Structure 1
């Protein structure tokens, strides 16, 4: 069973565009869980362009499913993890100025750095996941640094899906199989939507979790949030 974690960053983006508290991030998280979401994902960036530090602590009090916090592992992020103790911490390599996560970790080049950070996070009792692109050496490097899971960066899959589905998924299947052989859990995220999600799920038979935000909330504008979450859950089944 592949879990659906709803990334609610876009809700905070909309709220911040006008100030105030509409839409309310906490209420959306509660409702998303009530509508069937099996996890809530947030990415509290230093510039607070969407999720704020206050949001993180407010959400800690209400999220009852899996709470996943993404971010670049600097001192600020590690303090948030220590205070909040989410179920999962997903480490991304992007610096503060980028618009969205656009690359995975080079687990070979950053082996020592990642190992130290992952050891620290795991000592807090938090499951770790690192954002990576498909590639045998990268996956093997992920196992060496001690992470519990990887999150496959699926932009290349989504981009190639409309041209050739089999080619688009081939590297991801190889990466996922290698990860499973090495005892790693497998998450996936970025540009997944109602068009390409089911095929990914069928191809990655050991897929534990997907994190979806942008496409899901775009669909919710037309279908409504409750119906949209059910549509995504249906694709995963």
Structure 2
């Protein structure tokens, strides 16, 4: 698997604090703060997992930044046009354009920005661990397969079909802090970054004479939200 994340690195110190305290459930957040933020859990990040983040199953390639959709892209196309042989009148589908049709929405995958921090609780009671993100970095769209249209067009299609807001890129920022409970003699691991939402779709080109190229299956991972991934060992 070949993934790449553009990162802008900033100097900072790791904030790993351990104090003894009897506490309730672990908390997490998925918002990027503006200054000296601390995170408490939202409904989307409440779970302390038992394993590191899952990796995409496919070999994916990161898509570089791009300008708005190319003039040849047609975000209104939802299926294959009529073929020339279907009608006695010649068909005209000019200009030629790429098509993307989403077919399935999958789960979220976490792409880390910066190092994974860990804290071991060697006491006999539950204790609080505090972690702070150490870098700022951008995470963009990654795909597997031949996308015949622009990323922007693909995102428009995904938003329209599944009513979700996915972006061409999101930035996880330096200085986001989270505090969670670490059980006795356990290690809590914390990784800050961007959650990407998986989609599968088909893509092809419609030529000027309305014939179409063979369909390609495209698997995409699009930035969805910013947040922490937490697990214990």
> What TM-score range do you get, normalising by the shorter chain?
under 0.3
Structure (1 or 2) with the greater strand fraction: 2
> What's the TM-score once normalised by structure 2's chain length?
0.22
Q: Using CA pairs below 8 Å that are at least 6 residues apart, which structure has the higher relative contact order?
A: 2
Name whichever structure is richer in helix by fraction.
1
TM (norm. structure 1) is 0.22
